[in-house]
Structures are given as C-alpha cells and as structure tokens.
C-alpha cells in the first residue's frame, strides 16, 4: 500500500493511493497514520477496499506521510562514495545523529534557508519507518519491525554542521529541513530495500544519481544497530544516508539560494518537489 496524509498543516487526514494512482480518503475508517497508533492504522487500511473509498478532489497539499514522529534518527556517511566526496573516512560503525522532529514537513512544502546560512545543501535519502517496537533486535529479525519506507530530503546547513562546533544536529534541524513522503510504502511493496535507484535535481540539473545497493550499512543492520542503543517505537524514522552528488562535493561547492527548485525521488517510493525560500 501507498499510504499518505493530506490537507493543511496540522490538519492532515489519512489517505491512500489506489491502483490507478488516485488519492482516496481513509478518514472515515481511521484517524491518522501517526505515532503509537501506526500499526493498527496500517492494519485497518489493509482491510479496506480502495475502490470503496471516496476520491479526493483536486490536488491537495500532502503532509509528511507519518505524524507524531517520536525520533528522527539519521545515519551519516553511509555511502562510501559520498564519504569520499566529503573528504571523510568510511566509519567502522554507523554514525548516528538526530534531526529535530520540528524539521519535518510535507514532501512538497517550501524549504526555508536559515537567516545566516551560507551553505544550505541537499541529500536524497531512503527512510525507514518503524512499525513495531524494536529493542535489542537481531539483524535477522530487524525487518519484522519495519512498517515501510519513504523518501526524505535531509536538508543540511554545512557551516552550521561542520564549522560551528559540536554535534551535527545544529546543521540538520532548521524548520523545513526534513521533507518526508509523499507516501509511506508498506514493506510488502519493497521486497529489497537494498536495490532502489534514487536521484536529486536542482533547477533541472541532476546532481545525485545513486542506488541503495552501495550503502555501507544496510537497512536491516541499521535497525538492529540503533536498537542496541535505544528502543525504537512505531512512527520513528531512520534516514539511512545519501549517495554522492551533494552540493558540498561539487567543484566549487554549490549551495541552495532562494528560488531554487529541488526534485528528488526513489524508485517505487514517489517524488518530492520543493522551492527554497528565505526564512522570515
């Protein structure tokens, strides 16, 4: 299933795409795809015939495909070729950091460039949405705890991240720095998360073209690894790293400015499109 949330910010309603790619309204059957209620909501959605649901008129705003995210866990330098372009070594264990959940926005919402930014960058990433509590799980059992997958743009301010000292979170957490969606694609529709093509374009120029096949640490390993340090609850997100082609890796570096348009997508998981604007 391709599950989604649509409507004004903070008032999103649950929906799904039918076999013809039409948006259907699920709000008569469940309240939301969010937080601890996510597993039951997915079960309910699976029990409904999409053809019986009302069609949604027009092209409403799409919200983040998951609400009430408790943790937004990110993995750094998880593609060897991206580590090389960043001038950094592939880590002997996954680099884990957090993005503030207040950074989460819809897949097509405007992305704000922070007031003092000089190096706002892009990163297309495969994200894993947790569907069942995971604590000390094995790699073999890890995917049983996954509800599905989605696209994340891990927008990053490189000066804040690298030059302002301390943890990366400062460069990762500005409002709108976490476009998520358009859909939560359930695990049954993604038989191999390590075989998905991905891309990102800025103003029509393709900067990133990669595949999850080149991840250093795969999805099952990451879910297991993170669960050794903290429990993962339904609705939590793990964003698994980006392939090469980020702005920081260009010669010379190329960063976002107001009015730029980003388009990014992952095979089978949909496409995002954002316009950059100056933060108020």
Q: Render pLDDT for 12-30 as a digit per residue (tens, 0 to 9).
A: 999 999 999 999 999 999 9
- Find the mean pLDDT for residues 164-180: 95
| pLDDT at 141 (0 to 100) | 98
Q: CA of 15: how far to CAs of 97, 135, 264, in Å? A: 31, 30, 22
Has residue 80 got a pLDDT over 90? no
Candidates 254, 245, 183; CA nearest to 210 is 245
DSSP 141: T
- pLDDT category at 81 given cuts 50, 70, 90 is confident
| pLDDT at 59 (0 to 100) | 95
List CB contacts of 42: < 8 A, sequence separation 6 or more.
1, 3, 33, 131, 147, 148, 186
Has residue 76 got a pLDDT over 80? yes
Q: Which regions of the chain carry the CATH code 3.90.850.10?
A: 72-278
Candidates 84, 91, 85, 86; CA nearest to 217 is 91
Percent of the chain with pLDDT over 70: 100
| pLDDT at 244 (0 to 100) | 93
| pLDDT at 46 (0 to 100) | 98
Q: How many CA atoms lie within 13 A of 143 on its CB side?
A: 13
Candidates 72, 76, 22, 69; CA nearest to 50 is 22
| pLDDT at 175 (0 to 100) | 98
- pLDDT category at 84 given cuts 50, 70, 90 is confident
Has residue 210 got a pLDDT over 90? yes
Q: How far apart are alpha carbons 273 and 151 in whole angstroms?
A: 11
- pLDDT category at 83 given cuts 50, 70, 90 is confident
| pLDDT at 136 (0 to 100) | 98
Candidates 74, 47, 70, 112; CA nearest to 279 is 112
Has residue 85 got a pLDDT over 90? no
| pLDDT at 86 (0 to 100) | 72
Has residue 87 got a pLDDT over 80? no
| pLDDT at 166 (0 to 100) | 84
- Find the mean pLDDT for residues 37-55: 97
**Two tokens at 141?**
């059992």
Superfamily of domain 72-278: Fumarylacetoacetase-like, C-terminal domain (3.90.850.10)
- Find the mean pLDDT for residues 59-78: 97
Q: Render pLDDT for 107-137 as a digit per residue (tens, 0 to 9).
A: 999 999 999 999 999 999 999 999 999 999 9
């Amino acid at each position: 299933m391709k599950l989604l949330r649509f409507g004004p910010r903070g008032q999103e309603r649950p929906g799904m795409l039918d076999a013809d790619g039409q948006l259907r309204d699920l709000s008569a059957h469940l309240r939301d795809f969010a937080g601890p209620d996510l597993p039951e909501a997915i079960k309910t959605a699976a029990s409904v015939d999409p053809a019986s649901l009302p069609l949604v008129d027009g092209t409403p705003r799409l919200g983040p495909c998951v609400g009430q995210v408790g943790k937004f866990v990110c993995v750094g330098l998880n593609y060897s070729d991206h580590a090389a372009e960043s001038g950094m070594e592939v880590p002997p264990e996954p680099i884990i950091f957090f993005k503030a959940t207040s950074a989460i926005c819809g897949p097509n919402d405007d992305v704000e460039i922070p007031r003092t930014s000089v190096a706002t960058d892009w990163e297309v990433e495969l994200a894993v949405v947790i569907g069942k509590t995971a604590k000390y799980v094995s790699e073999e059992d890890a995917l049983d705890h996954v509800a599905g997958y989605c696209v994340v743009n891990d927008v990053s301010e490189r000066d804040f991240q690298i030059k302002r000292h301390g943890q990366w979170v400062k460069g990762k957490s500005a409002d709108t720095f976490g476009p998520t969606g358009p859909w939560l694609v359930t695990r049954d529709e993604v038989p191999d998360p390590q075989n998905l093509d991905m891309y990102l374009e800025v103003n029509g120029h393709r900067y990133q073209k990669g595949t999850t096949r080149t991840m250093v640490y795969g999805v099952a390993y990451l879910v297991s690894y993170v669960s050794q340090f903290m429990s993962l609850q339904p609705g939590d997100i793990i964003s698994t790293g980006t392939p090469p082609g980020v702005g920081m890796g260009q010669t010379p570096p190329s960063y976002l400015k107001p009015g730029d348009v980003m388009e990014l997508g992952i095979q089978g998981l949909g496409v995002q499109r954002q316009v950059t604007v100056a933060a108020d």
